[in-house]
Amino acid sequence: MTEEQPRAFPGGFLWGSATAAYQIEGAASEDGRTPSIWDTFCRTPGKVHEGHTGDVACDHYHRWQEDLDLMAGLGLGAYRFSVSWSRVQPTGRGPAVQRGLDFYRSLADGLLERGITPSLTLYHWDLPQELEDAGGWPVRETAERFAEYAVMVGEALGDRVPLWTTLNEPFCSAFLGYGSGVHAPGRTEPESVLKAAHHLNLAHGLAVQALRSVLPGDRQIGITFNPGVVRPSTESEADRDAARRIDALQTRIFSDPVLHGAYPADLRADTAGVSDWSFVREGDEAVIHQPLDFLGLNYYNPLLASAATPGDSSLRNDGHGSSDHSPWVGSESVEFHALPGERTDMGWPIDPTGLTDLLVRFSREVPGLPLYVTENGAAFDDKPDASGSVHDPERIAYLRGHLGAVLDARAQGADVRGYYVWSLLDNFEWAYGYSKRFGVVHVDFETLRRTPKASALWYAELVRTGELPGLD
Ligand code: IFM
């Protein structure tokens, strides 16, 4: 496929940007908000880069109008944001807090006034701490609490938000939160990973049912996965089996029950030494398997996996952070290898073909279900120059490559309806704190001044024309 000529996206393609509540809002203890697991994790020594916290972040809670104006200036058609559960329902139980709901109502109204479609995610990793204290995602009740919270948000915002996503990247919540411990709540308990995954799935199913009962009929509901694009390092049977194992753990543990109504048999077999799976009750898989209106897919890079090399049990470069505890429960011996080529500031390899593969895979697996790229982007160490401008040619190249990959997937029949760049703003990058910049808008974390980078202007031009420019 040549990239010399501009290539066109279809009319009506949804162009957006994405953020998440804890990463940008700040105002961590204002208007009744109580701590989430990330507030606690940030205060646990050694967990987050230089002890950074989301206390202020981008101060979006106070500067949201400026941020909406930025998006409008770029001509964006949609904004994917998440709701902070502990801002809306402090402690995760009991009545909703009106001030919390009002913030999101104003945000949605501000978007609509600017002609930007609100796309709301209910959960982007920030569980109220009190629910974690009661057991967190490994406990079934958390799924029931989530459905209750979904109703509160649905009743308050259903009249103005057309696009609803239950969970963002449940893989990270379960495997990094309860397995490797590099994410909040930082637990390292193999069986809890599987329980958390199941209760996140159940939470999704219960929330979809609950949302359907309170939202107007034309509202669209989906979920966002970050599936592993796992390639075997050789075509040997052992390496292909290693890739299969990681695919089961990162992808199919969620996508099979959500999209097809049953956990994969190979996953259950691979993890038989970790759990007997008795936490899955009769009827759960049917609850998880709700009809959906779209599927959100997040993609950053592929993985290269192999079977263990005798004598080397410690090769792990899966891009999910460093820990003495493997997240890959039941398949801890799988090894990960560096892919050749350029990398982002996260150390993640740059390979747009993985995005094409991912989109084509799900378009074939669930024909007829519209797909959105709900996150894609790259961190680079961007700095303003003497004139205050931020030049980020690496990010422009990354975005151009991956948007070409979206067109390639569409050419192969994938029904990709939109793309949200991650992220609108430089923000709190979880365990990396503010040391990684994913934004198309630069944020000076001393002054909180926002400066659109060259990539933002490049993206705005793409949104305006609908044409992906060829290489210069
Ligand atoms: O910043 C995160 C986001 O919260 C979830 N998806 C991946 C991004 C980059 O790591």
Query: Mind listing the pLDDT tens digit of every residue in the chain (472 residues)?
Result: 444 677 999 999 999 999 999 999 999 999 999 999 999 999 999 999 999 999 999 999 999 999 999 999 999 999 999 999 999 999 999 999 999 999 999 999 999 999 999 999 999 999 999 999 999 999 999 999 999 999 999 999 999 999 999 999 999 999 999 999 999 999 999 999 999 999 999 999 999 999 999 999 999 999 999 999 999 999 999 999 999 999 999 999 999 999 999 999 999 999 999 999 999 999 999 999 999 999 999 999 999 999 987 665 545 567 778 889 999 999 999 999 999 999 999 999 999 999 999 999 999 999 999 999 999 999 999 999 999 999 999 999 999 999 999 999 999 999 999 999 999 999 999 999 999 999 999 999 999 999 999 999 999 999 999 999 987 6
Residue 471 lies in a domain: no
Pocket test for ligand 1, best of 430, 432, 434, 443 (most atoms within 8 A of CB): 430
User: Is the beta carbon of 429 within 6 A of some atom in ligand 1?
Assistant: yes
Query: 16 vs 216, 380, 417, 419, CA distance in Å?
Result: 23, 20, 11, 6
Residue 1 lies in a domain: no
Q: Answer whether 435's CB lies under 8 Å from 429's CB.
A: yes
Residue carrying the six token digits 């959500």: 258
Q: Which amino acid is at 51?
A: G
Ligand 1 nearest atom to the CA of residue 125, by list position: 4
| Residue 36 preceded by cis peptide, ω within 30 | no
What range defines the domain where residue 20 resides?
Answer: 7-466
CA of 357 to the centre of ligand 1 (A): 20
CA of 143 to the centre of ligand 1 (A): 23
- The CATH number assigned to the domain holding 330 equals 3.20.20.80
**Rounded distance between C-alpha atoms, residue 7 and residue 20, angstroms:** 31
The closest alpha carbon to 291, from 362, 369, 225, 215, belongs to: 369
Model pLDDT, residue 262:
98
Model pLDDT, residue 249:
98
Secondary structure letter of residue 49 according to DSSP:
G
CA of 285 to the centre of ligand 1 (A): 28
Residue 472 lies in a domain: no
Q: Answer whether 433's CB lies under 8 Å from 372's CB.
A: no
| Residue 216 preceded by cis peptide, ω within 30 | no
Q: Which tokens hold the place of 341?
A: 């080529």
Model pLDDT, residue 321:
81
Q: Per-residue DSSP letters for 136-185?
A: -TTSHHHHHHHHHHHHHHHHHHTTT--EEEEEE-HHIIIIIHHTS-SSTT
Q: Which tokens hold the place of 90?
A: 């402090």
**Rounded distance between C-alpha atoms, residue 136 and residue 142, angstroms:** 6
Q: Which tokens hold the place of 42?
A: 């940030």
Ligand 1 nearest atom to the CA of residue 168, by list position: 5
**Rounded distance between C-alpha atoms, residue 165 and residue 274, angstroms:** 30
Q: pLDDT, tens digit, for every residue of 14-38?
A: 999 999 999 999 999 999 999 999 9
User: Is the beta carbon of 169 within 6 A of some atom in ligand 1?
Assistant: yes
Residue 2 lies in a domain: no
CA of 347 to the centre of ligand 1 (A): 14
Q: Answer whether 423's CB lies under 8 Å from 19's CB.
A: yes
Q: Answer whether 248's CB lies under 8 Å from 164's CB.
A: no
**SS3 of residue 451 by DSSP:** strand
Residue 133 lies in a domain: yes
Q: Per-residue DSSP letters for 102-149?
A: HHHHHHHHHHHHTT-EEEEEEESS--BHHHHHTT-TTSHHHHHHHHHH
Residue carrying the six token digits 């008795």: 278
CA–CA–CA angle 299, 15, 409 (5° rounding): 50
**Rounded distance between C-alpha atoms, residue 341 and residue 461, angstroms:** 28
Average pLDDT over the chain, rounded to whole?
96
Residue 309 lies in a domain: yes
Q: Which amino acid is at 436?
A: K
User: Is the beta carbon of 301 within 6 A of some atom in ligand 1?
Assistant: no
Residue 101 lies in a domain: yes
| DSSP H helical ranges for 215-298 | 237-247, 253-260, 265-270, 284-288
The closest alpha carbon to 462, from 437, 440, 442, belongs to: 440
User: Is the beta carbon of 20 within 6 A of some atom in ligand 1?
Assistant: yes
For the chain, the C-alpha Rg in angstroms (whole number) is 21
Residue 418 lies in a domain: yes
Model pLDDT, residue 470:
81
Count of domains for the chain: 1
Ligand 1 nearest atom to the CA of residue 346, by list position: 10
User: Is the beta carbon of 375 within 6 A of some atom in ligand 1?
Assistant: yes
**Rounded distance between C-alpha atoms, residue 308 and residue 239, angstroms:** 9
Residue 418 φ/ψ, nearest 5 degrees: -170, 170
Q: Which letter, b or e, does each residue of 74-109 get, where b requires 16 or more Cβ atoms within 10 Å of its Cβ?
A: bebbbbbbbbbbbbbbbbbeeebbeebbebbbebbe
Pocket test for ligand 1, best of 429, 437, 440, 443 (most atoms within 8 A of CB): 429
Q: pLDDT, tens digit, for every residue of 84-94?
A: 999 999 999 99
Residue 309 φ/ψ, nearest 5 degrees: -90, 125
Residue 374 φ/ψ, nearest 5 degrees: -85, -15
Model pLDDT, residue 320:
79
H or E element, residue 198: helix 190-214
**Rounded distance between C-alpha atoms, residue 148 and residue 293, angstroms:** 21
Residue nearest atom 10 of ligand 1, based on CA coordinates: 429
Ligand 1 nearest atom to the CA of residue 429, by list position: 1
